[in-house]
Structure 1
Amino acid sequence: MSVELQLLGEVVARVDGRVVDLGPARQRCVLVALAVDAPRLVPADRLVERVWGVNTPRRGRETLYSYISRLRQALSGADVLEVVSRSGGYALLVDQPTLVVDLHRFHDLRARAREQTDDARAARLLTEALRLWRGPALTGVDGQWAEAARDGLERERLAALHDLADVRLRLGQGGDLVAELAMRANEHPLDERIGGQYLLALHQAGRTADALDHYRHLRDRLVDELGTDPGTDLQGLHRRILTADPALTTTTAGADRPPATPLQLPAAPGVFTGRGSELAELDRILGDAVQDGDSGADFRAAQGAVSGNSPSAGATAVISAIGGTGGIGKTWLALAWANRWSERFPDGQLFVDLRGFSPAGEPMAPDDAVRGFLDALGVAPDRMPADPNARAARYRSLVADRRMLIVLDNAASADQVVPLLPGSATCTVLVTSRNRLTGLVARHGAHPLHLDVLTDVESRQLLVARLGEARVAAEEPAVAELIALCGGFPLALGVVAARAAAEPRLPLADTVGELREFGLDALNDTDPTANPSTVLSWSLRGLSDRQRRVFALLGIAPGPDIDLHAATSLTGLSPRNTRTVLRGLADASLIIHTPGGRYLMHDLVRDYATVIAHENLAEPVRQAALERVEDSYRYTAHTAAHHLEPHRPPIRLDPPVPGTHPRPLPDYQDALTWLDSHHPHLLAAQHTAATHRRHHVVWHLAWTLHTYHLRRGHRHDELAVWQAAADAADHLPDPTTHTYTHRLLGRAHAALGRHEQAIGHLNQALVLAEHHNDPTQQALTHFTFTWAWEQRGDYRRALDHARHALDLFRTLNLPVWEAEAFNALGWCAARLGEYDTARDHCQASLALHHRLHDPDGRAGSLDSLGFIEHHTGHHRQAIDHYQQAITLGRTLGDTTRVATTLDRLGHPHTALGRHDQARTAWQEALELYRQHGREADAERVQRQLDDLDTTIDIDPHDTG
């Protein structure tokens, strides 16, 4: 909480920037009378005397109690400022009075200045103390005591002014003081101290004759009006001026002129939008969310609170390190925040572009930056220390105890930044860098703030700020695609917006078309700082050859991101070396280390990496890397597929290429989790393999994904991978691949309701299986025919194919598939109303699956039995079968089966009048259907739910 009690000017109390109503003048006087002695006790009689003096009313004590009560209420929100009663009086309890009450801060700064042996530091402390004054003290408070206190405080202010003048004169700054001291000497013509200061200032300004002339006037006036000669100090100064004592114009040994107040901040960004959470985080880190109206002391106190030290404790500066890739808006954010709070740094703001990543080439040497800062702080060239370490020490001395903001932009490394860090907690440092600067965080307590891309809302706000709401609203579809193509990258959005603003008649759709067709190249600009490719290229300068090669390879890796196993295969390095390189690229903000051990590139960064890969890496190098990573995915997926369906007939697998690192998957759950996480990578790997005509990889990836697609409801992906496999199969010698492909293409078409295509592919599969005398494929094709005709609703044909499949499975001694065929026979019979036959077949299937420890088959048989029991009026048995099937399906992660069985479970619940249970089942089924894209099923279940809402609960007789 920010709290301020202002006495050196109008008496004002603020809590979190809000002015507190302190009531009438005498009530304010009560607070002031307590504040000047805080936190010491003020006896009640003395308090009454201070408030009313000799004019104390009869009921003075009672009125005082009333004032105290009102003040407590007014200050109730300020937990560090409290009026408390003590034996015989009252006290104002203040947490850190020198930070809350400006008067105590003034006294503290004066005391510290008097203790200083360094005149430059003493000058800074006195300057800070005098800045606390905002006019005559205790304004708005009446009474004799207040008037006397006001006069005393004014004398203290003048004494501080005199002390500051003495210090600055010792530092040789008389030339800067002539005008100020001339006015003061005119106001106090008989004050020998002021007169001596004015003499010395004139002499140091090179106006010795004027100094001697003023001494004569001052001496004459003292004689005429006071009948006395000047004192010995003034006479001694006069003699030293006459003899041109060189010490009068030489600065104190080892000291500098009081530093200038540099104002080096570049202008705030012309258009700044979004980044609300990041600005709030900087407020928290650097100023504890400073509010408008807070005093500099409050802001400084907040800094001390964040760093864990009081400002005077000699702690290091509060530092925030803003990181992120090139073009993400680090400088944009830093300057927006710095300009927003610049007035909170009255001693100045320093700024330097350290050129860590810039067209200028090599990063700036830290000593060059120190020299620039010393120059800005008023150090003359002839007083610049010769040794770099001495220059850095001089810089730290000049900024010590000053409230300054230091912005170190575009840093290359922590080593470049450390010599520029002040040693004082009163300073605030903002560092921006594409590198993470972990050394700065570890050694100097910097607070890291990593910038990500803008959200879609923030991106739109940026375009509106540049182009106007009307134009953006008029081209909303193009704007939405433009935002998606730029991916929230501020530099890309800025370039596009600038071009659109320069060509207002050109539709945004044209720009979108260029981006869609040419990608990063469409953003190229003659200004290197506005060219994303050029800006990103500067990040590569500090990388090793190995890091640059891996960066390029990551650009062509299949999938949206990559994990360590796949990256190890891609790079051809050991896991340890791969991890080291990836960490280095993450530290350089070229990739992002995401939860789960994955590494991600922004789309535009990836586009640039792809360009680098094709320009700098030989085609055999790229090809070998892709083969390794494809095989890593392929062999890991093969292991996963075996866990999901261990009874599936195996296929022959060639050895992986050297350097491949498949991931071990010890059990079913690991396999399913890995497939869920890497499904996009497997689809991308198949596409990449197809592009490079690795036909066996394309076909094998389709095979490995089949069971996963069925269980997770990826119907469209299943069709796509088998269509790619069909093209690949034309180039493979094994005829089984053709049979397999047509069979599973047929099933994929059937799942999407494309019956003609499904039957066509299945007929081709059956012809090929018979032609090559492959009874296993014949049996599997008949079984798939069963399912395809079921989808069409022709259960007679389905039943015929199920019988053919059962006979062949028995002949081939494939008991799991025999059990599946029994269940298919039972299901078809049930759909034809032959429930007794159906029950016999499904129970036989369940028993066989149970003996073979096949949970997937058991779930299917239980689902069929649930259907049979429901349609024969045994609703409780139906529910039991369905619930067992759902439990098995959930264990297997088979959301396709779970959705279907939940759909069926609702009906026996409804038959029993259990509408709440039915609703729960159907709502979950509806959600899963929608996730799987099964819109027709989803619409049907929604109608069931709607009908359920209009049904009156009943409890019919249950024949079960």
Structure 2
Amino acid sequence: MTGGSGEVAPLSVAITVLGSLEVVSDGIRLPVGHARQKAVLAVLLTDVNQVVPPDRLVDRVWGERAPARARSVLRTYVSNLRRALHRTGITVLWHDTGYRLGADPDSVDLHRFHRLVAEARDSRGPRDALALVDEALALWRGEPLAELDTPWARSVREQLHREHAAARADRVDWALRCGRHGEVLPELTARVDEHPLDERLTGQAMLALYLSGHQAEALEHYRRIRRQLVDEVGTDPAPALQELHQRILAADPALAHPPVETARPVVVPRQLPAPPTPFIGRDDELDLLDTAVDVPGSATTVVLSALAGAGGIGKTWLALHWAHRNVDRFPDGQLFVDLRGYSHHSEPLSPATAIRGFLTALGVDPTSLSADLDAQAALYRSLLVGKRMLVVLDNAATAEQVTPLLPGSPTCTVLVTSRTRLASLIDRHGAVHVQLDVLADTEAWQLLTGRLHRARIAPQPEAVAELVELCGGYPLALSITARKAATRPGVALAEIAAELRELGMETLDHDTDPAASLPAVLSWSLRRLTDVQRTVFGLLGIAPGPDTTVPALVSLTGLPEAQTRRALHALEDASLVHRRAHGRYAMHDLIRACAATTAHQDLTGQVREEALRRLLDFYTHTACAADRFLNPHRLPVHLAPTAPGVRPHRLPDAQAALAWFDAEHACLLASHQTAVGHGWHADVWNLTRALDTFHSLRGHRHDRLVMWQAAAEAATHLPDPTALAHAHRALGLVCAGLGRLEQAIAHLRLALTEAEHHEDPTQQAHIHVALTAAWEHLGDDRRALDHARRALDLHRGLDQPVAEAEALNVVGWYSARLGDYDTARVHCHAALTLHRRHRGSPDGEANTLDTLGFIAHRTGHHAQAVAHYAHALALYRDHGYTHQVPPALDALGHPHAALGHHDQARSVWREALELYREQGRDDDAERIRRQLDGLAAGSLGPAKTTESA
């Protein structure tokens, strides 16, 4: 193409910025070959006469899809371009750090466009300006940079579209001032329909209609935009448009004869996207935003960050809802930009591109802008001084991306949404940090039901409740589920719930719209992770249990602790994990599903299995060591050495061991299930044994049953011949405690048969003790005593004083129940002496004191009984034996009542009642309630507790 109305350029190059790439010289078209070769030419021409480093060229031409030997390919393309451009006078030379394309800038339509638009805006009259802008607009012959789809190209394209739109808008102003309203009216009418809230465009259309003799239609345009602004934005038109409306109403003659230098309308940007509907909940967060903005005399930057989810948690929803609700606070306008920190775009929006867009929206001529970002930021801050303006910076990747866009005026407010905490923004600029978690169940219910017809919801409340539960309060998951339900009215909600339950994340995916796909939205958070961080994220997805700690994660990953902590903190900062109290880290269930998918896509089966084996080693070795604190006289478990990279957690004492078991219980149960699922029989057995003392102390009877059932199956695969007898003995004890007496006797008989077959006297002795509990529950104390005596005889021959002491107490207990108090007292004192001499287990001593309290109470020595029971209770409490505390309280109340200490009896029984209820022991709770009623009525008889020690 040639240079239009001015001097004809010796060479004109039509590049991809404004049309299809071709090079024209002296009427001869010169081919430039391959599409990527054309793209290289486009980049060099865009920065004509400037040095472009090779890395920048590669990034702009290929983006993330650069070939392996990109620099070599680039050299080939440049060489081809030199030959193709030889006759045109254009040179492509190497200058120190990069390539420089030398040419007259006016020979390139991009730079010619910029020059012509700048001259138009600087011209003295509208006619000259109109001629210049027409020449500039004529250079546009297609989609800018059509051959390129890289982040740089998309950014340049967006900027050029804004410049093109600004030039078209200026052209209309100049045409109207030249009296060419009839010419521009059709274009304006069409564009107003496309952009009904563009006040400048509406004002131009109103003026063109009025000048064309259509005053009524001009006024109707004003009524329409005012109604829409009030309904959708909550504000009236800007003063400039209101003034034009009044002048048209008054038929101001000056409108038909505007002065040559009429000032351009004041630009009041209103860039907020439409508010979310319906918006549910977030009352606390909205109040916090109101409070932050109400702080007088200080610039306010509010960071909205989701800690319970990487994406789809509702950050933008909250920001836009608050912005629209408070739009009257910002009469000078609202700026909005999606910084694309986490989106389907491969690269975030650069601060330079964002600030140029803001400056254009504020009425600045884009061609007059300096190329220096600092200069642009200074101009931006200057324009906002003293203005009450809201700036919404959505989806930020880093604080560095945000900082240049912060106004310096205390009258402005900035809302920043990000998946990261933007720590330096908080530290250096005093940003207020608002954490977003998932919605509460009631809010999730409202969000889901608010989008579905009431007639559809009413008959299916259970299905709605299940959908709410499966979505876990995650706003995007709820919205996707509501959309699926709304677009399939013939499908029952129960069926949709079943799909979500069975298929999980797959049902929340969308093939063609990434923004409507939860897996896609979550995956955008992973792009900025390093390989190590991504691996840690994936392993967290397959780790058993609801949460984890740093020690466990170190073994799971096999990484050094410092590296593990850095990766964990990066995931926390990216809102992919969140920290709970006591150093525990957790994921939302939907994030965990995404992590598990990442693990199966990125990691081999061998890597996943080795990680799980390391974690099982960590839990097994730590649990066995903890169990030694709780039960030091138990025979030690012989474990295989840990796998490389495993670092068991070191615990200092029994109190720390019990606290560790409490904190890790859910993870230990999940790890046990993992071992069962993989057929790792030794791990199943060792974990079951390691948790048995803890389960007994804490009364986790059902968990104990499940684990020993699995251990019994695992025992059949182990080389230890005594394992099966041990498993059946434990199952017998658990079943007896649960009242499954026939099963208990059956298991214990199997255990005894196995132990006798393998001639294992230790196991036989333990089984006889277990049989005493079963026969007591069946009401046969005499038979229970026989087994107790056999256990005592066996233990006396094994040189196991602590086990002997426990057997002595059992003989004493059943002797007392049968009324032989002298025999009972002798055995219990002997047991107490052994326990204290050998520092036996605290529960063994407490059990013996409990038996002595029973003997004293039954023989009328109630004060002595109170002393024994109180001592036993103190031991149970001090050592965390929570399951034994309510029976001890129950027993203590009887001698108090016998002594007439009704207040003390009432106090301990009320506590026992509360604890029984907390532990789900309803029958015991009902018995205590009857005792309290009897105490109140004065009809309580002699105490006859049958609680086992």
TM-score w.r.t. the length of structure 2 is 0.71
> Aligned partners of 1:326, 1:178: CA distance in 2, in Å?
44
2:280 to 252, 263, 273: 273
> Aligned partners of 1:771, 1:857: CA distance in 2, in Å?
29
> Aligned partners of 1:753, 1:427: CA distance in 2, in Å?
70
1:284 and 2:284 are equivalent in the alignment = no
1:233-272 to 2 correspondences below 5 Å: 260-272=267-279
Partner of 1:576: 562
Deviation at 1:532, TM superposition (A): 1.1
1:320 and 2:303 are equivalent in the alignment = yes
1:493-892 to 2 correspondences below 5 Å: 493-526=478-511, 527-854=513-840, 855-892=842-879
CA deviation map 1:131-153 (0-9, x unaligned): xxxxxxxxxxxxxxxxxxxxxxx
2:473 counterpart letter in structure 1:
G
> Aligned partners of 1:180, 1:558: CA distance in 2, in Å?
68
> Aligned partners of 2:601, 2:305: CA distance in 1, in Å?
32
CA deviation map 1:36-60 (0-9, x unaligned): xxxxxxxxxxxxxxxxxxxxxxxxx
Partner of 1:921: 908
Whether the 8 Å contact between 2:240 and 2:265 is mirrored in structure 1 is no
Instruction: Tell me the percent identity.
Output: 55
Q: 1:440 to 1:766 in 2, by over 3 A?
A: same
Partner of 2:406: 421
Partner of 2:450: 465
Partner of 1:111: none
Helix, strand or coil at the partner of 1:351: strand
> Aligned partners of 1:468, 1:916: CA distance in 2, in Å?
59
CA deviation map 1:669-691 (0-9, x unaligned): 10010000001111011111111
Whether the 8 Å contact between 2:472 and 2:589 is mirrored in structure 1 is yes
> Aligned partners of 2:478, 2:256: CA distance in 1, in Å?
62
> Aligned partners of 2:341, 2:266: CA distance in 1, in Å?
28
Q: 1:407 to 1:472 in 2, by over 3 A?
A: same
> Aligned partners of 1:179, 1:463: CA distance in 2, in Å?
45
Whether the 8 Å contact between 1:644 and 1:671 is mirrored in structure 2 is yes
Q: 1:947 to 1:376 in 2, by over 3 A?
A: farther
1:375 and 2:363 are equivalent in the alignment = no
> Aligned partners of 1:761, 1:845: CA distance in 2, in Å?
28
CA deviation map 1:923-954 (0-9, x unaligned): 22222223333222222222223333433799
Whether the 8 Å contact between 2:397 and 2:418 is mirrored in structure 1 is yes
> Aligned partners of 2:342, 2:703: CA distance in 1, in Å?
43
Deviation at 1:473, TM superposition (A): 4.3
Partner of 1:930: 917
Partner of 1:204: 261
2:929 counterpart letter in structure 1:
Q
Deviation at 1:336, TM superposition (A): 1.0
Count of equivalent residues: 702
Whether the 8 Å contact between 2:356 and 2:366 is mirrored in structure 1 is no
2:341 to 356, 367, 374: 356
CA deviation map 1:429-479 (0-9, x unaligned): 111111111111111111111111111111112123222555444322222
Deviation at 1:800, TM superposition (A): 0.8
1:267 counterpart letter in structure 2:
A
Partner of 1:23: none
Helix, strand or coil at the partner of 2:582: coil
Helix, strand or coil at the partner of 1:403: coil
> Aligned partners of 2:245, 2:602: CA distance in 1, in Å?
67
1:897 to 867, 884, 887: 884
| Structure 2 runs not aligned, ≥5 long | 1-238, 944-949
1:394 and 2:401 are equivalent in the alignment = no
Q: 1:732 to 1:181 in 2, by over 3 A?
A: closer
Deviation at 1:259, TM superposition (A): 6.0
Q: 1:763 to 1:259 in 2, by over 3 A?
A: farther
> Aligned partners of 2:803, 2:846: CA distance in 1, in Å?
14
> Aligned partners of 2:942, 2:519: CA distance in 1, in Å?
71
CA deviation map 1:870-891 (0-9, x unaligned): 1222222111111111100001
Helix, strand or coil at the partner of 1:828: helix
2:801 counterpart letter in structure 1:
P
Q: 1:202 to 1:875 in 2, by over 3 A?
A: same
Helix, strand or coil at the partner of 1:847: helix
1:908 to 882, 888, 895: 895
> Aligned partners of 1:382, 1:931: CA distance in 2, in Å?
74
Deviation at 1:374, TM superposition (A): 1.0
Q: 1:393 to 1:573 in 2, by over 3 A?
A: same
> Aligned partners of 1:777, 1:823: CA distance in 2, in Å?
18
Q: 1:845 to 1:321 in 2, by over 3 A?
A: same
Whether the 8 Å contact between 1:262 and 1:348 is mirrored in structure 2 is yes
> Aligned partners of 2:937, 2:455: CA distance in 1, in Å?
47
Helix, strand or coil at the partner of 2:797: helix
Helix, strand or coil at the partner of 2:819: coil
Whether the 8 Å contact between 2:306 and 2:313 is mirrored in structure 1 is no
> Aligned partners of 1:773, 1:361: CA distance in 2, in Å?
71
Whether the 8 Å contact between 1:915 and 1:953 is mirrored in structure 2 is no
Partner of 2:396: 411
Q: 1:471 to 1:186 in 2, by over 3 A?
A: closer
Deviation at 1:608, TM superposition (A): 1.1
Whether the 8 Å contact between 1:317 and 1:421 is mirrored in structure 2 is no
CA deviation map 1:193-229 (0-9, x unaligned): xx9xx99982412xxxxxxxxxxxxxxxxxxxxxxxx
Partner of 2:146: none
1:939 and 2:926 are equivalent in the alignment = yes
| Structure 1 runs not aligned, ≥5 long | 1-173, 188-194, 206-248, 250-256, 288-301, 308-315
> Aligned partners of 1:282, 1:669: CA distance in 2, in Å?
44
> Aligned partners of 2:799, 2:665: CA distance in 1, in Å?
34
> Aligned partners of 1:802, 1:751: CA distance in 2, in Å?
18
Whether the 8 Å contact between 1:463 and 1:472 is mirrored in structure 2 is no
2:400 counterpart letter in structure 1:
D
Helix, strand or coil at the partner of 1:896: coil
Q: Which moved more, 1:855-864 or 1:943-952?
A: 943-952
Whether the 8 Å contact between 2:728 and 2:748 is mirrored in structure 1 is yes
> Aligned partners of 2:904, 2:315: CA distance in 1, in Å?
54
Q: 1:479 to 1:362 in 2, by over 3 A?
A: same
Partner of 2:232: none
Q: 1:611 to 1:711 in 2, by over 3 A?
A: same
> Aligned partners of 2:768, 2:743: CA distance in 1, in Å?
16
